Amino acid sequence: MKILVCISHVPDTTSKINFTDGDTKFDTNGVQFVINPNDEFGLTRAMWFKEKQGASVDVVNVGGAETEPTLRKALAIGADSAIRVNTEAKDGFQVAKELAKVVKDGGYDLVIAGRESIDYNGGMVPGMLAGLIDANFINNCISLEIEGENAKAIREIDGGKETLTASLPLVIGGQKGLVEESDLRIPNMRGIMQARKKPLNVVEPSESGTKTEAVKFEKPAPKGAVKLIDPDNLDELIDLLHNEAKAI
């Protein structure tokens, strides 16, 4: 089984979010980048398929050279090789189109992506990719088993879960549950050394074009200070929730 894991290169959760160029660009100054958390759960699940079922695991990112440390980290965790599509990621459709080409060229059976990236939160790349390559698609996936050509997956739905079956090729929009937090792997020294020698292939984009454009960013208005209520005067809290916030 050939697995491709899509890796989004995103600012660490604790990053301060700022914009430059008249609020048109994300300010990467001093920002630490990481593997998108939803993708990391998928990558770790892919490692399981590699170790238990002999799958090969490649990782891919659509982005400039600055994303390579993130791909190297995925290699250090255990992926066999990495692909970087050498273009700036501009919108979900463009990224999905570039990924579709990688999947077709590489003949992958299973593509694992995250349900959304924590930067642009589009939540559309896995579904669009599946649509473009005519593969089956399961989103919000919290459990995945593969037996030959058949997949059994559990999807989180509002208020519960759903068990699904589908045949390969398959695209997964994954999240926590594919593996648990405690299963995530911190690359060890050996992994990091090996990762340096593993192939990281840079491929040129197919210039697929975009359908949307983020024209401007804005930060939320600063929040007012919290109103503190005396624990001996909880009537005040109820009054505020009812009359001021109109929340109860």
Partner 1 sequence: MSVLVYIESEEGKFKKAAYEVASYAKEVAGMMGTSVTAVTFNAEDISELGKYGVDKVLKVGNDKLKNFNAEAYADALKQAAEKEGAKVVVLSQSANSKYLAPLLAVQLQAGYASNVVALPESTEPFTVKRTAFTNKAFSFTKIDTDVKIVGVAKNAFGLKEVQADAAAEDFNPELSAEDFSVNVESVDKATNKVTIADAEVVVSGGRGLKGPENWGMIEEMADILGAATACSKPVSDMGWRPHSEHVGQTGKPVASNLYIAVGISGAIQHLAGINAAKTKVVINNDPEAPFFKAADYGVVGDAFEVVPKLNEKLKEFKEKNA
Q: Taking CB under 8 A as the criterion, which residues in 66-105 touch partner 1?
A: 91-93, 96
Nearer to partner 1, 201 or 212 (CB): 212
Work out the number of other CB atoms within 10 angstroms of the CB of residue 164: 15
Beta strands (DSSP E) in 7-159 are: 9-11, 19-20, 25-26, 33-35, 56-62, 81-85, 110-114, 136-147, 150-157
Residue 110 token pair: 């299973």
Per rule CB under 8 A, count of chain residues that contact partner 1: 83
Q: What are the two backbone dihedrals, phi and then psi, of residue 187, each rounded to the nearest 5 degrees?
A: -60, 135
Angstrom distances, CA of residue 145 to CA of 34, 50, 234: 27, 13, 50
Judged by CB under 8 A, the chain residues 215 through 234 that form the site for partner 1 are 215-220, 223-224, 226-231, 234
CB of 101 to partner 1, least distance (A): 15
List the one residue from 167, 188, 196, 199 that touches partner 1 (CB under 8 A).
167
> Does 19 participate in binding partner 1 (rule CB under 8 A)?
yes
> Does 8 participate in binding partner 1 (rule CB under 8 A)?
no
Q: Which stretch binds partner 1 (CB under 8 A): 76-84, 168-176, 189-197, 200-208?
A: 168-176
Q: Which stretch binds partner 1 (CB under 8 A): 50-58, 64-72, 75-83, 171-179?
A: 171-179
Work out the number of other CB atoms within 10 angstroms of the CB of residue 103: 24
